[in-house]
A and B are shown apart, each in its own frame.
Chain A
Amino acid sequence: MEKVIEVKDMSFGYTREKVLEHVDFYVEKGDFALIIGDNGVGKSTMVKLLLGVNTPTSGEILVGGKKIRSLKDSHIGYLPQNGGSRAAAFPATCEEIVLSSLYREIGFGRMPGKKHKAIALEALKTVGMEAKRKALIGELSGGQQQRVMLARVLAGSPEVLILDEPTVGVDAESVDRLLHILHHLNIEKNVTILMVTHDVDKAGPFANKVLCLSEGACNEEALPQAEIIHAHAHKHAKGEGAHIHSANCKHEVDHHHDSEHCPECNHHEHDHAHDHEKEGK
């Protein structure tokens, strides 16, 4: 399988103090991956690194086998946190908003044509919002706004979709709908999905891979078919900064057909955890 995102022994800190240390994981084409963890463990930082907004202090991040400098060079689609609510006060129609992401296709200084409108409509159809294409974004519900924002990302036909906490700030029904849309995209269109969330219960069943950034946040029962990669942060004494030890499970799980746990993997992970404790001492 092609590794679309690969993080190799990556460390990062805004100051001398490290937020993330020695993170190792990869996402393959067609994966539905989650990044989970408690507040403040560096989930959003991880996203910024993946998007090329921040640059790793050491180690490297490869997207499509290449080091990323910015998202401009990649086929990543990104839905930021609270993507919908930002748009609420903006007097634009859903169609105008979705069209705006076709920037590269339309070109500098040009107006969108019929072809681009068709793409936008298609994206709105994917999220079930085609009927509201002429509606003002501000007049939609939070969940609908989020779906329009998703359509905006999808119009760029990304191969990888990164979502930052899409379940925050929308009602339960909208969360379900969103997850179904993502699942559909993942299976039908083979879109690789990488989602940052703390909502393991809801998103867990869809995922085949989980990067767990803090202990306790990984409710493994909610992750019936996922390979779990632990990257727990252990805080040490003064001056050393925080360490994140991570281990990567090398076992392939065909999540589309096999809904069973991977006992070997879990076992493997436990071993690793033990190793770390020993190392720590």
Chain B
Amino acid sequence: MPTILQYAYMQRALLVGFLLALLVACLGTVMVHKRLSLIGDALSHSSLAGVALGLLLGFNPIIGAIAACVVAAFCIEGIRKKLGNHSELAVAIVMSTGIGLAGVMSGFVKSAADFNSFLFGSIVAISEMETYMVIVLALVVLLAFFLLYKELFYISFDEQAAAISGVPVGVVNAIFTILTAVTISIAARTVGALIVSSLMVVPVAAAMTIARSYKTTILWAAVISITSTIGGLVLSFYCGLKPGGTIVLIAVAWFLILYLLKWLRGRLTSGNRSADGAKRASEESKGA
């Protein structure tokens, strides 16, 4: 057995990392196309407010964090609909509110302790309970994602048309909003906010440079997300790099390499482009 697997904390890190990378990539693909790329950031910071409230009113701060995440996610959904073209502002507004509330409320909390350390976990320090929690979460989210794949595709492509075609947009959006909020709050607590908010966006951006369909976009995003996570953990284990940062940078490297490849391919085929254009034109006229 390789050394990396001889330690229980690394086994947990690899398992939980794999599952969350998969989940977050799936959710991220939908979020990016709903123009809510930064929702990971917004929700994980909004959950700070929930933690503060939990400490203030004396209930479990983790439950507070999940509740705050769900509330914030619904606020984003609500504001997004009102703002139309500026829907991405909804994320910024909710994030600001969350951080602001957390900041003010932390002033009232007597045993504030180190807020961040309780809120944001570390991928190399995952408890057994959290491992089980993530496994259950992964099963639920993946099942829902698989069942609602078609609906989510349609809604993120064209919400209005989806509604017209009979997709229960409200229900699907609500289910998805709750799943996203719960995933983000649990994932932020388990592996840290940095990993969650980055893996929501970067692998999707990388996948979009090469994917040839929506399905392959999701598959590539998942592959990139998972390889970044596992790669980051292995590097962290053998080279002593910080796991969170390493994972994120590997994902960014994926993006840069794939983007460069696409650019090079574009350069190479640009010579044929005029021929292509002529072909396209002739095809069109034939069709007519």
Do A and B touch each other in the complex, judged by CB within 8 A?
Answer: yes
Write the residues of chain A forming the contact surface with B, with a CB cutoff of 8 angstroms. Answer: 51, 70-72, 78, 80, 86-87, 90-93, 96-97, 100-101, 103-104, 106, 108-112, 128-129, 131, 134, 136, 141, 143-144, 152, 156, 173, 176-177, 180
Do A141 and B280 touch across chains, with their CB atoms under 8 A apart?
yes
Do B165 and A104 touch across chains, with their CB atoms under 8 A apart?
yes
Do B150 and A173 touch across chains, with their CB atoms under 8 A apart?
no
Shortest distance from the beta carbon of B168 to any chain A beta carbon, whole Å:
7
Given A78-B161, A134-B213, 16 other A-B contacts at CB below 8 A? Answer: A51-B164, A71-B164, A90-B157, A91-B207, A91-B208, A92-B153, A92-B157, A92-B214, A96-B214, A96-B215, A101-B165, A103-B165, A112-B150, A134-B212, A177-B287, A180-B288
Do A91 and B154 touch across chains, with their CB atoms under 8 A apart?
no
Write the residues of chain B forming the contact surface with A, with a CB cutoff of 8 angstroms. Answer: 33, 147-151, 153-154, 156-158, 160-168, 207-208, 211-215, 217, 280, 283-284, 287-288
8 smallest A-B Cβ distances: which pairs? A128-B287, A92-B214, A109-B147, A71-B164, A100-B154, A103-B165, A93-B213, A91-B217
List the count of A-B residue pairs having beta carbons below 8 Å apart: 87
Residues on A with C-beta less than 8 A from B156 are: 90
Residues on B with C-beta less than 8 A from A97 are: 157
Residues on A with C-beta less than 8 A from B215 are: 96
Do A106 and B287 touch across chains, with their CB atoms under 8 A apart?
no
- Per a CB cutoff under 8 Å, which of B33, B154, B161, B168 touches A80? B161
- Chain B residue nearest to A147 (CB atoms) is B287
- Per a CB cutoff under 8 Å, which of B147, B164, B217 touches A70? B164
- Chain B residue nearest to A156 (CB atoms) is B165
Do B164 and A108 touch across chains, with their CB atoms under 8 A apart?
no
Residues on A with C-beta less than 8 A from B166 are: 72, 103-104
Residues on B with C-beta less than 8 A from A87 are: 157-158
